[in-house]
Amino acid sequence: MDNWPEDDDLIGQGADLHVATLIDGYKHGLFAMERAVGDGTLFWWSPAQRCIIPLDGLRVTRSMRRSARRYHLRINSCFDRVMLGCASRHGEDGRWITARFVEEYCRLHELGWAHSVETFNDDGVLVGGLYGVRIGKFFAGESMFHLERDASKVALMALVDVMRSAKMLLLDAQWHTPHLESLGGITVPRAEYLARLEVAVGQRG
């Protein structure tokens, strides 16, 4: 990654991507990233202004509703392919999803911590999706991708529906972007995010 976020968001570096390390990081508001070209050092982030998507605040457009009728949704049917789809995205967003991240998050998936929502077209082709980590009533959204119009947004709609049904509390979207804001994403100060996180991970799902 050439352009890193603000230094105030960077908490530390080093450690590993073992299951226990990752889960403990999420519980304390941290997530890891690695430069696509570098020495493999992990950087741990906790944005000073955290983007979340309120479960009652997702903005669903007419286009998204029409698209939802065209696609077929699955959950956890091809986690690795969703990660690879996110990693293949052009620009900065997917570069940090290195082979090491794919391997370790697939391990998280096998152990029941990481999950994917997948969007397929009528031909059975994977055209979008998202993945992230669930702890109790908390879901950390990591990345999403699309190959056809609104495919990732439809996956997000499905995720929010599942979270509402499960009475979950917090959907983390990491950093603010205009795209996330258009979907209803808001920013909250780090202290407020950590307070919400403590409640969410303290309740068993």
Strand runs (DSSP E) across 24-161, as ranges?
A: 31-34, 42-45, 49-52, 72-75, 114-120, 126-135, 138-146
Q: Which two tokens stand for residue 128?
A: 């979008």
Q: Which two tokens stand for residue 140?
A: 């950390």
Q: What is the CATH number of domain 7-201?
A: 3.40.630.70
Sheet of 31-34: strand order equals 10-13, 42-45, 31-34
pLDDT of residue 40: 81
pLDDT of residue 204: 47
pLDDT tens digits, residue range 118-164? 999 999 999 999 999 999 999 999 999 999 999 999 999 999 999 99
- Collapsing DSSP to helix, strand or coil, 155 comes out as helix
Task: Indicate if the pLDDT at residue 36 is higher than 70.
Answer: no
pLDDT of residue 42: 93
Task: Indicate if the pLDDT at residue 108 is higher than 60.
Answer: yes
